Amino acid sequence: MPDSAFEQQFIGLLESAAHEIGGTKVHFSRYTLPGLARSAAIERRCARDYRPVDHLYGGRADGLIVTGTEPLTDDLRTESYWGALAELIGWAEGSVASALLSCLAAHAAALLFDGIERETLPAKCSGIFVQGHPEYSTTSLLREYRRDLVRFLRGERKVVPAVPVGYVDDESRRLLESFEAQVLARPTDPELMRRFPLEPVAQRLVNTWQLSGARLYANWLRLIQHRRQYGA
């Protein structure tokens, strides 16, 4: 998804990783899939900064990162972009040294290669490959939690989202659980979100995963270098 902040999270991790393994130069190219509904502003940015994914197939890439988007249907195969996404992942299997599949792209690969369908759960659950987001900024998960609370209040999800585990300290958890109690007491009042304690919680957050994320990406770059060198 062409989101500047999201891109910078990936690029920042890759640059840190490249520095860790001796200043390897990483060249980035951006491509976009057809079939996705986008705002006019995003369409303009795609036209300016991205190339159609078909251009990727005619070139040579060493590694590939496929980011995700939010699903609109329960079955990924009915999404408007499924054909293009499946083609991209299938192409990557035999055409690049290694690929990282983020978020929904990982679900797509599990479905495409192993027939494992995505299942909607009442709370976020980790477990598919490295189903996490090492590229996330310090507040990304907090903002996702707030987004899901909004959806609950709008009636777009059936259960209130759980406070992220291992992410906030005791005081922040107390603030978020207190707010959750207000949401459960008034589950149809979107105006409640004006009181969401974003800043008090954000100020107390500590990014404990950035170094581990950079190391993960450094190992990925080493793998690509090795496969390029030895053809493995």
Give the tens place of pLDDT for each residue, 2-27.
556 678 888 888 888 888 888 778 88
More confidently predicted of 119 and 109: 109
- Residues 169-194 have a mean pLDDT of 92
Query: By percentage, how much of the chain surpasses pLDDT 70?
Result: 92
Q: Band of the pLDDT at 189, cuts 50, 70, 90? A: confident
| DSSP secondary structure letter of residue 79 | S
> Are 147 and 223 members of one domain?
no
Q: Length of the chain, please?
A: 232
129: pLDDT strictly greater than 70? no
> Are 190 and 224 members of one domain?
no
pLDDT of residue 64: 94
Closest CA to 164 of 181, 177, 151: 177
Strand partners, 64: 99
pLDDT of residue 75: 92
> Are 44 and 76 members of one domain?
yes
Give the tens place of pLDDT for each residue, 138-163.
898 999 999 999 999 988 888 899 99
Q: Burial code of 27-42, b = ≥16 C-beta within 10 A, e = fewer?
A: eeeebbbeebeeeeeb
> Are 33 and 101 members of one domain?
yes
Least confident of 97-101, 123-127, 141-145, 181-185: 123-127
Q: Can you tell me the distance from the alpha carbon of 183 to that of 185, in angstroms, rounded to the nearest whole number? A: 5
> Are 75 and 108 members of one domain?
yes
> Are 69 and 182 members of one domain?
no
> Are 8 and 46 members of one domain?
yes
Q: Write the CATH number for 17.
A: 3.40.50.880
> Are 101 and 168 members of one domain?
no
Reading the block at residue 124, the tokens are 């976020």
Q: Band of the pLDDT at 124, cuts 50, 70, 90? A: low
> Are 33 and 103 members of one domain?
yes
More confidently predicted of 191 and 171: 171
Range of the domain at 42: 4-132+209-230
Average pLDDT over the chain, rounded to an integer = 87
Q: Can you tell me the distance from the alpha carbon of 84 to that of 75, in angstroms, rounded to the nearest whole number? A: 15
> Are 122 and 176 members of one domain?
no
> Are 180 and 155 members of one domain?
yes
What is the count of structural domains for the chain?
2
Give the tens place of pLDDT for each residue, 62-104.
999 998 888 888 899 999 999 999 999 999 999 999 999 988 8
pLDDT of residue 208: 84
Give the tens place of pLDDT for each residue, 104-118.
899 999 999 999 998
| DSSP SS3 for 35 | coil
pLDDT of residue 191: 87
> Are 50 and 124 members of one domain?
yes
Query: By percentage, how much of the chain surpasses pLDDT 90?
Result: 48
Angle, alpha carbons 69-70-75 (nearest 5°): 110
